[in-house]
């Protein structure tokens, strides 16, 4: 299996928490890891929220299985959109491919106590202090 395939499978289905039917997953952008994660998670009955910089790509992620889509260019505060779509609860699992540029909003998008899989570093940013939101949210980040 390619690095992309192995990474998507590993982040979704292996320790510490496997994605299961009924869970809500957040994916970022339309790269290889995210597109495969959308397909695998939706195939087992999870709800997927996918983001992209382009509406035309979001039409494709819907075809791949995403239930909800967010254009992260139009919604700079996309975490607020994630919280709106999940009735303020947040998602069970984030496949985090942006790194420094997305991690703060990924943490905010995640339910108390749930999981962020650290996969990539596509988005640069100013330094962000994520310690309080990780600690007080009881959230787990796992590197892949």
Binding footprint of ligand NAP on the chain (CB under 6 A)? 3-4, 7, 28-34, 51-54, 57, 72, 97-98, 101-102, 119-123, 144
Least separation in angstroms between CB 99 and ligand NAP: 7
Least separation in angstroms between CB 43 and ligand NAP: 18
Q: What is the DSSP letter of 119?
A: -
User: For residue 28, what are its two tokens?
Assistant: 């970022």
Cα four-point dihedral sign 137, 76, 118, 62: positive
Least separation in angstroms between CB 13 and ligand NAP: 14
In the complex with ligand NAP, the residue whose CB is nearer, 16 or 21, is 16
Least separation in angstroms between CB 133 and ligand NAP: 18
In the complex with ligand NAP, the residue whose CB is nearer, 2 or 135, is 2
In the complex with ligand NAP, the residue whose CB is nearer, 112 or 119, is 119
Q: What residues contact 57, with CB distance under 8 A and at least 6 apart?
A: 30
In the complex with ligand NAP, the residue whose CB is nearer, 10 or 133, is 10
In the complex with ligand NAP, the residue whose CB is nearer, 14 or 113, is 14
Give me the residues paired with residue 24 across strands: 47
Least separation in angstroms between CB 114 and ligand NAP: 19
């Amino acid at each position: 299996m390619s690095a992309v395939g192995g990474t998507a499978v590993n982040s979704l289905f292996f320790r510490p928490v496997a994605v299961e039917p009924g869970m809500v997953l957040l994916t970022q952008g339309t790269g290889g890891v995210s597109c495969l994660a959308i397909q695998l998670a939706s195939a087992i009955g999870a709800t997927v929220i996918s983001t992209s910089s382009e509406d035309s790509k979001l039409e494709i992620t819907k075809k791949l299985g995403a239930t909800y889509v967010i254009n992260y260019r139009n919604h700079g505060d996309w975490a607020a959109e994630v919280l709106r779509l999940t009735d303020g609860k947040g998602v069970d699992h984030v496949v985090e491919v942006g790194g420094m540029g997305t991690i703060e909003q990924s943490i905010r998008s995640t339910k108390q106590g749930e999981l962020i899989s650290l996969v990539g570093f596509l988005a640069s940013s100013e330094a962000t202090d994520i310690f309080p939101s990780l600690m007080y949210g009881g959230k787990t980040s796992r590197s892949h």
